[in-house]
Chain A
Amino acid sequence: MKKMLPEAELARDERFVRSRIEDAFLDPRGARLADRYTGPAKMAADRPAAAERSRSLMHGIFVGEIQALEGAGRTCFDFDDDEAPFQLKLDMARQCWDESRHCEISIKLGEHMGSEIGEYGESTFLYAAACNPDPVLRLTGVNRALEGLAIDVFNSMKEFGESSSDPILTFCEDWMLADEVTHVKMGSDWLRRLTEKDPERRERALEFQRTVDKIFSLGGFRGESEENPIQLARRFRELAGFTDGEVDEIAEIARQAQAEAEAMSQAAQAAG
């Protein structure tokens, strides 16, 4: 079996359609929308297009779970035991079990919202972030940045379920949220253990995490205001072992990402 599988080779059946990230970046509507108020981005039942936006996001969560499963699974296989200890692989195998369950829950939540597998395009840049050839950097990128993002996403969806009195969404998101907290803790523990005598490698891993955090805060996707669809879940991140300083740093990264996106949008508009 091939090691270090590129994202282009991920196995999908005919229901899935791969979307191209460049299409979103090159979409001229992005700049035109920037000057227009389309309502608070934070999810709520009274927000414009709330149902379709939540379905689309739910499908994004579902494919994200598939890719998280693939990322954790690859970590079990891609590295020899001297690169990644067997105990770490065992933790990743356990995480695969969780991610598989999340895939199944997400499929059912999609059906609950009236959606189906493959209804929306699949972007694979989450898996791309899980392809780092250094196991410590990969683990940090996946288990601290991406699984940290999953905490924010699940908590935002849980709050959306609560505000719309949807008991099914609220219950399911709460259960998945609990798993994500353990995944982040696992990442933090292994980062500490594997870099105990190598502070330079630890710093490289944390820098990689910042990069991934910035990518996934793209254009104000995540933040702490009504204008961010995904809210930074400070309390659950604290439970997962993030310090206040680390959460503040992610909040700052999110603010920077939003400011940069706004500046780019204004520049694009000025250029006509």
Chain B
Amino acid sequence: MGRVTITPDAFTVVPYEVPVISDLLEEAAALIGFPTDVAIDLEVDEDLPHPLVYTTSDIVDGRAVLWMSGGNFESTHRNREFSVPFARRELTQVLLRANDRLADGFASAPPDSDLSLAERAAWDTWTHGRVGRLGIDVRPDRMRYDFRLQHGFTDAADSAFDRLWDAQTLSWDGLREICKETGAADRPISKVPTDLLRRK
């Protein structure tokens, strides 16, 4: 048995193929230099369509535990159609964040379910910037809008976005500092759980 485990072991609601996703995940792991001795568990929720996109990335008992909405892999043109470019981008970003969690600088980061929307947006910005530098197609304008929704439509937020996007290194404390700088850390916490889509 390899180090990648995908759930479900066969898709029944959407015509996605486990070997294709598994290969893309291995490809992403090799691309980012993910440690070969860390097992990867990926769960895909095939009931969730686009645009209900969401991912989580945690380290549990030394294993990378990843969760994704099936909508993250779905073509934006055709219902239930698998998009290889989207899957490649999403698997790379989710694995990069797991890799961050293995580093000392993110050791104190709470699990994804406890991140605020602003913290998550900041982390995603840094991640997508790195995904782009790895040669995978990403959309900076899209991420800027996502970031602005949580950090404000302000010059301070745009400046923070640019720094996060270009950052070579970052720590959890540095990320929280940026959330304070934009004022997002002072916003009231939403009553809607950030990982609601994951809850069945």
Which residues of A line the B interface, CB within 8 A?
17, 19, 23-24, 27-29, 32-33, 36-40, 45-53, 55-56, 111-115, 119-121, 164-168
A–B Cβ pairs within 8 angstroms, 18 of them: A17-B77, A19-B78, A23-B80, A24-B79, A28-B13, A29-B46, A33-B49, A45-B149, A46-B192, A48-B52, A48-B197, A49-B51, A49-B53, A49-B197, A56-B50, A114-B141, A120-B77, A164-B149
Bound Cα distance A41, B200 (Å): 17
B89 at the interface (CB under 8 A from A): no
- The dominant DSSP class at the B interface is loop
Contact A56 B54 (CB under 8 A): no
> Quick one: CB contact mask for B46-88 with A, threshold 8 Å, 1 for yes?
1111111110000000000000010100001111100000000
Bound Cα distance A255, B196 (Å): 26
Contact A45 B192 (CB under 8 A): no
Q: Which residue of B lies closest to A112 (CB)?
A: B145
Residues of B near A115 (CB, < 8 A) are 142
Contact A49 B192 (CB under 8 A): no
Interface size on B, residues (CB 8 A): 38
Beyond A48-B192, A115-B142, A121-B77, whether A29 also contacts B49 by CB under 8 A is yes
B190 at the interface (CB under 8 A from A): yes
- Chain B nearest CB from A226 CB (Å) reads 11
Residues of A near B192 (CB, < 8 A) are 39-40, 46-48
B117 at the interface (CB under 8 A from A): yes
Bound Cα distance A160, B196 (Å): 20
- Chain A nearest CB from B168 CB (Å) reads 24
- Chain A nearest CB from B173 CB (Å) reads 24
Contact B48 A29 (CB under 8 A): yes
Residues of B near A45 (CB, < 8 A) are 117, 149-150
B143 at the interface (CB under 8 A from A): yes
Q: Which residue of B lies closest to A39 (CB)?
A: B196
Contact A46 B148 (CB under 8 A): no
Beyond A29-B48, A55-B51, whether A36 also contacts B149 by CB under 8 A is no
Bound Cα distance A17, B83 (Å): 15
Contact A51 B196 (CB under 8 A): no
Bound Cα distance A146, B79 (Å): 25
7 more CB-based (< 8 A) A-B contacts, given A23-B80, A33-B49: A38-B48, A39-B192, A39-B196, A45-B150, A49-B71, A114-B140, A120-B76
Q: Which residue of B lies closest to A30 (CB)?
A: B49
Contact B52 A38 (CB under 8 A): yes
- Chain A nearest CB from B129 CB (Å) reads 14
One of A23, A46, A120 near B117 (C-beta < 8 A): A46
- The dominant DSSP class at the A interface is loop
Bound Cα distance A112, B79 (Å): 25
- Chain A nearest CB from B38 CB (Å) reads 28
Bound Cα distance A166, B150 (Å): 11
Bound Cα distance A50, B80 (Å): 20
Contact A36 B47 (CB under 8 A): yes
Residues of A near B153 (CB, < 8 A) are 164-168
Contact B76 A51 (CB under 8 A): no
Bound Cα distance A112, B149 (Å): 12
Q: Which of A51, A56, A111 is most buried by chain B, counting CB atoms within 10 A of its CB? A: A51
Contact A121 B76 (CB under 8 A): yes
Q: Which residue of B lies closest to A16 (CB)?
A: B77
Bound Cα distance A204, B140 (Å): 51
Contact A32 B51 (CB under 8 A): no
Beyond A38-B52, A48-B54, whether A19 also contacts B77 by CB under 8 A is yes
> Quick one: CB contact mask for B122-151 with A, threshold 8 Å, 1 for yes?
000000000000000001111111101110
- Chain A nearest CB from B81 CB (Å) reads 9
Contact A166 B148 (CB under 8 A): yes
Residues of B near A47 (CB, < 8 A) are 192
Bound Cα distance A36, B48 (Å): 10
Bound Cα distance A28, B80 (Å): 10
- Chain B nearest CB from A119 CB (Å) reads 6
Contact B52 A51 (CB under 8 A): no
Bound Cα distance A174, B46 (Å): 38
- Chain B nearest CB from A66 CB (Å) reads 17
Q: Which residue of B lies closest to A36 (CB)?
A: B200
Q: Which residue of B lies closest to A57 (CB)?
A: B51
Bound Cα distance A40, B197 (Å): 11
Contact A33 B152 (CB under 8 A): no
In the A-B complex, the 5 residue pairs with the closest CB atoms: A114-B142, A46-B190, A114-B141, A52-B51, A17-B77
